[in-house]
């Protein structure tokens, strides 16, 4: 049977002595005409989606046809003829085939992030080289860290000849928020994603990439994140390179103006979903209010920026989850 209340159906069947197994499937409406099924299969084929099985059914309400399908997962192990073996639940890691549609959407959504990153990292590159860091080292820092606040704080510690412990503690405080983002994103990814894919996605977690991923409806394919990362990471790294090479050629007022670009990028990320959803708008306003309190209250303004971000995230997200919970989608 196919149901949108899988947990409830499983419980009822089990309590009444029926053996059952829950499997995720996808139901697709088909046009009741010649070639309707072929049209759907053609779309799946163009997107390189392999199917484990497929069968047709119909809506009980309107008797229109629907197609029930299950996507095939693949193991890392290959046959002698170089074909992937279908995975079983007992097999090890999973290899998910490329989702070109999700990847292209990620590329599209990553363009404003990449442009914003270019402008901000341009400033980082100039500051790093001005402080005595080589161009190659500055580019390597951006390529392997992907954290604006952490990198700017890091080169400040380097310039001040700080200790490794000071560097480690500063990076932990500033970037601890990514731990929370990764926890959230791990629950957002589609089921069946292997550990390798999760680690790759985790490497590219930044404030903006997490923002666009979390705003997607339903579960997110790791290939969507790869698409965003494919634009954002080169933008951040290339901006550092260009800034480092440019050195002190640009006037100070222009360098200062470039550092404001990241705020424009944040606005581009949060304004569209905030217009559509009052809960998101409330979260944005709440976060601004809490941040303002930490900035102006005499005692609270001593709290480090990293902890302010963590406290604000947990507090505002917790309040939003309590008063505006998002109903979990039941998947069969």
- Domain ranges in the chain are 6-72, 100-262, 277-326
Q: What is the DSSP letter of 1?
A: -
Mean local confidence (pLDDT), 133-137: 91
pTM above 0.95, yes or no: no
Least confident of 93-97, 225-229, 242-246, 266-270: 93-97
Question: Which residues fall within 8 angstroms of residue 21, CB to CB, at 6 or more apart?
Answer: none
Whether 332 has a pLDDT exceeding 70, the answer reads no
Instruction: Work out the number of other CB atoms within 10 angstroms of the CB of residue 28.
Output: 15
Query: pLDDT category, 171, cuts 50, 70, 90?
Result: confident
Q: Give dist(CA 109, CA 213) in Å, integer.
A: 9
CA–CA dist 271, 235 (Å, integer): 22
Residue from 301, 305, 304 nearest 293 by CA: 301
Distance CA 252, CA 126 (A): 11
The residue ranking higher by pLDDT, 72 or 112, is 112
**Structure tokens belonging to residue 78:** 């290959």
> pLDDT for 50-78, tens place per residue?
777 777 777 766 677 787 877 654 443 44
For residues 185 and 213, is the Cβ–Cβ distance under 8 A?
A: yes
Residue 15, phi then psi, degrees to nearest 5: -65, -25
Summarised one tens digit per residue, pLDDT across range 2-46 is 777 777 887 888 888 887 777 777 777 777 777 777 877 777 776
pLDDT in tens, 141-166: 999 998 887 898 888 888 878 778 87
Instruction: Match 């069947």 to its residue by tokens.
Output: 13
The reported pLDDT for the residue numbered 155 is 87
Give residue 293's pLDDT band: very low, low, confident or very high (50, 70, 90): very high
**Could you tell me the pLDDT band of residue 231, with boundaries at 50, 70 and 90?**
very high
Distances in Å between the Cα of 283 and the Cα atoms of 183, 186, 327 are 19, 21, 17
CATH of domain 6-72: 3.30.70.260
User: What are the distances in angstroms from CA 264 to CA 13, 41, 76, 269?
Assistant: 53, 42, 42, 9
Q: What are phi and psi of 55, to 5 degrees?
A: -155, 160
CA dist 295 and 292 (Å) reads 5
DSSP reduced 3-state for 89: coil
Closest among 27, 257, 261, 220 to 109, alpha carbons compared: 220
Neighbours of 144 (CB within 10 A): 9
49, 7 Cβ separation under 8 angstroms: no
pLDDT at 331: 43
CB count within 10 Å of CB 273 equals 18
Name which residue leads in pLDDT, 233 or 184.
233
In the chain, the N- to C-terminal Cα span, in Å, equals 9
Distance CA 244, CA 29 (A): 54
Q: What is the mean pLDDT of residues 276-297?
A: 88
pLDDT recorded at residue 266: 66
């Amino acid at each position: 049977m196919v149901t949108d209340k899988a947990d409830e159906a499983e419980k009822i069947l089990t309590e009444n002595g029926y053996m059952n197994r829950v499997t995720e499937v996808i139901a697709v409406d088909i046009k009741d005409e010649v070639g309707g099924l072929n049209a759907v299969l053609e779309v799946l084929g163009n997107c390189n989606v392999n199917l484990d099985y497929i069968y047709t059914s119909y809506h009980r309400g309107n008797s229109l046809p629907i197609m029930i399908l299950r996507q095939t997962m693949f193991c890392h192990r290959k046959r002698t003829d170089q074909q992937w073996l279908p995975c079983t639940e007992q097999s090890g890691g999973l290899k998910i085939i490329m989702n070109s549609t999700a990847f292209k959407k990620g590329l599209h959504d990553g363009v404003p992030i990449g442009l914003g990153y270019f402008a901000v990292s341009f400033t980082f590159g100039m500051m790093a080289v001005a402080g005595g860091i080589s161009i190659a080292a500055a580019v390597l820092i951006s390529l392997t860290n992907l954290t604006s606040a952490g990198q700017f704080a890091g080169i400040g510690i380097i310039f001040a000849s700080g200790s490794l412990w000071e560097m480690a503690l500063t990076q932990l405080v500033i970037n601890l928020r990514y731990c929370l983002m990764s926890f959230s994103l791990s629950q957002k990814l589609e089921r069946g994603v292997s550990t390798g894919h999760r680690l790759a996605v985790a490497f590219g977690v930044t404030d903006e990439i997490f923002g666009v991923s979390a705003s997607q409806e339903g579960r997110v394919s790791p290939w969507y994140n790869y698409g965003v990362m494919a634009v954002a990471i080169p933008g951040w790294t290339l901006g550092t390179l260009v800034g480092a090479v440019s050195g002190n050629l640009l006037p100070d007022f222009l360098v200062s103006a470039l550092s404001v670009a990241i705020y424009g990028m944040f606005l581009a990320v949060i304004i569209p979903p905030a217009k559509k959803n009052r809960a998101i708008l409330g979260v944005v306003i709440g976060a601004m209010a809490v941040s303002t309190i930490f900035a102006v209250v005499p005692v609270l303004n001593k709290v480090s920026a990293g902890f302010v971000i963590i406290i604000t995230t947990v507090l505002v997200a917790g309040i939003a989850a309590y008063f505006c919970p998002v109903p979990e989608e039941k998947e069969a």
